[in-house]
Amino acid sequence: MSNPPTPESPRDSESEVSADRTVPVETPAAPGLSRRGLLALGGGVGLAVGAVAGGITGIAVTKNNSSSAAELEYSFYGEHQSGIITPAQDRMHFAAFDMRDDATRDDLISLLQDWSYATSRMMMGLDVSAKGAFRGGPYLPPEDTGEASGLGPSGLTITFGFGRSLFRSDDGTDRFGLAAQLPEDFTDLPTMVNDFIQPARSGGDLCVQACSNDPQVAVHAIRNLTRIAFGRAQLKWSQLGFGRTSSTSTAQDTPRNLFGQKDGTNNLKAEEPDRLTENVWITDGPAWSHGGSYLVARRIAMTIEVWDGVQLQEQDRVLGRDKESGAPLSGGTEFTAPDFAATDDGGKLLIDIRSHVARTHPENNDGIAMLRRGYNYVDGNDDTGRLDAGLFFIAFVNQPDRFAAVHTNMARDDMFVEYLKTTSSSVFVVPGGIGESEYVGQSLFEA
């Protein structure tokens, strides 16, 4: 017996969230069933996705008259997945999953369908299913774990990616009939200087990046997607992040990382569609991957106690920017382009060629740029009392090789590297966005 609906909050009130939506004019809704239709069909997890006819709608959705952070909502549907050019939220829970050894192609498809359905709801501030946390009756475990009840969508985005092992296992096995679809561009990263990679917290068949402005909403998303995966896939590793370390929109202020530096100044931004097409969105290779991207994730420990003992002018020299203003050492303000040829009166370069900015700037890397979207992390401390802290670095690029080229240039003699130690490294291909009738990655299985 199910309890009657008693809407009390955005997360447990479907009627409330279905009303009063505006879709941006640049991405008009296509004809077809609305998300309200999808919800109406979805009596439970796994029922609705794939059964609804619809089209692609806009990327961002806002509720009329909503201004509170809790009510900020993004659409799961669109040309690209959300969580890439979406203005970077403040919190992240990132997770990688392995399919069970006995899982079949049908298990994988049903998992992606169930994940898509639950995601379409959570991003609207709803429980993972209609019965949710409180309406499944007293004699069953609730379908939703309940800790995000009442918290609203809080700008939640969920981005899905596929690891190389999903296409072909390390021993060459084609477990899911996907080997022919492995993009040629999907290469592994070479080992880099200061790599101390821990295999147990790297790679995986699938990844899920959940970002939100409320940490509990992001954790709720990963926890419930893990629960839904039970019997088909299991959590391999996960990482919590706080405090975005990049801006992905010109509307955002530049945040600071754990070295106290403004981070994200010269990041690719949502307002640069041509540069995104050139550097972020996949346009080559199998058709199913078009509109997607490659997600590079690296857990980079920062020796913050060592850094804290470095003189300010040396900290500036290592980065190539002024710590307080973020301006390049060649002069100007934060967003002034660095001049790598500028010298002082003695003919000395103002920006050291071994500084981080000099090593990674597109001008010194054949024009290659990337969209960075990382987060700070602190995972306690070691037994000598040093914080286990750093940057969970995430970058979106249209070819892993292009990331590797910039990284190799950085690793060669970037002074920054002395303060960094990478403990986890992964690459996932993020398929393009979907329409309301589809589940994430559907075109891969129909290719």
Minimum distance of ligand HEM from residue 54's CB (angstroms): 38
* Distance in angstroms (rounded) separating the CA atoms of residues 291 and 277: 9
Mapped to the 3 state alphabet, what secondary structure does 9-50 carry? CHHHCHHHHHCCEECCCCCCCCCCCCHHHHHHHCCCCCCCCC
Q: Which of 370, 371, 429, 444 binds ligand HEM (CB under 6 A)?
A: 370
- Note whether 158 binds ligand HEM by CB under 6 A: no
In the bound state with ligand HEM, the residue whose beta carbon lies nearer, of 265 and 399, is 265
Q: Which two tokens stand for residue 143?
A: 């379908």
Radius of gyration of the chain (CA): 22
| Segment near ligand HEM (CB under 6 A); pick from 53-61, 110-118, 255-263, 270-278 | 255-263
Of positions 85, 407, 431, 438, contacts ligand HEM by CB under 6 A: 407
Provide, rounded to whole angstroms, the least separation between the CB of residue 71 and ligand HEM: 30
Residue 194's closest CA among 444, 431, 13, 420?
A: 420
- State which residue, 86 or 422, has the beta carbon closest to ligand HEM: 422
Strand ranges in 316-419 using DSSP code E only, listed in sequence order: 371-372, 375-381, 387-397
- Buried (b) or exposed (e) across 364-382, using 16+ Cβ within 10 A? bbeebbbbbbbbbbeeeee
Q: Which is nearer to ligand HEM, 165 or 194 (CB)?
A: 194
**Of the residues 49, 96, 410, 429, which one makes contact with ligand HEM according to CB under 6 A:** 410
- We find the least distance from the C-beta atom of residue 312 to ligand HEM, in angstroms, to be 14
Of 374 and 441, nearer to ligand HEM (C-beta) is 374
Give bridge partners of residue 381 from the DSSP assignment.
Answer: 387
Q: By CB under 6 A, is residue 81 in contact with ligand HEM?
A: no
Is residue 263 close enough to count as binding ligand HEM by CB under 6 A? yes
Residue choice 124, 406, 427, 434 for contact with ligand HEM (CB under 6 A): 406
Residue 265 binding ligand HEM, by CB under 6 A? yes
Name the 3-class secondary structure at 256: strand
268 in contact with ligand HEM (CB under 6 A):
no
Give the separation between CA 381 and CA 177, rounded to whole angstroms: 43
By the rule CB under 6 A, 356 interacts with ligand HEM: yes
The residue count for binding ligand HEM (CB under 6 A) is 27
Candidate list 72, 282, 302, 430; residue touching ligand HEM; CB under 6 A: 302
Binding mask 227-246 for ligand HEM (x = CB under 6 A): --------------------
Pair type for strands 420-430 and 293-302: antiparallel
Rounded to an integer, what is the distance from CA 286 to the centroid of its chain?
22
Supply the minimum distance, in Å, between the C-beta of residue 380 and ligand HEM.
Answer: 18
Give φ, ψ of 40 to 5 degrees: -65, -35
- Give the residue with the Cβ less far from ligand HEM, 83 or 320: 320
Place of tokens 């060592």: 306
- Token representation of residue 380: 């306690």
Query: Could you give the CA distance from residue 129 to residue 144 in angstroms, rounded to a whole number?
Result: 7
Of 193 and 235, the one with the shorter C-beta distance to ligand HEM is 193
294: contact with ligand HEM by CB under 6 A: no
- Asked if residue 404 binds ligand HEM (CB under 6 A), the reply is no
CA–CA separation, 118 vs 354, rounded Å?
47
- Taking CB under 6 A as the criterion, the residue among 11, 321, 373, 402 binding ligand HEM is 321
**Can you tell me the distance from the alpha carbon of 46 to that of 237, in angstroms, rounded to the nearest whole number?**
25
Nearest CA among 305, 308, 306, 328 for reference residue 316: 328
Piece in contact with ligand HEM (CB under 6 A), picked from 62-70, 139-147, 149-157, 360-368: 360-368
The C-alpha atoms of residue 58 and residue 77 are separated, in whole angstroms, by 7
Burial (0-12, 13-18, 19+ Cβ within 10 Å), 49: buried
Q: Work out whether 371 is an interface residue with ligand HEM (CB under 6 A).
A: no
DSSP-derived letter for residue 247 is -
Tokens 């399919």 sit on residue: 99
267 counts as binding ligand HEM under rule CB under 6 A: yes
Residues contributing to the site for ligand HEM (CB under 6 A): 257, 259, 261-267, 298, 300, 302, 319, 321, 356-357, 360-362, 370, 390-391, 393, 406-407, 410, 420
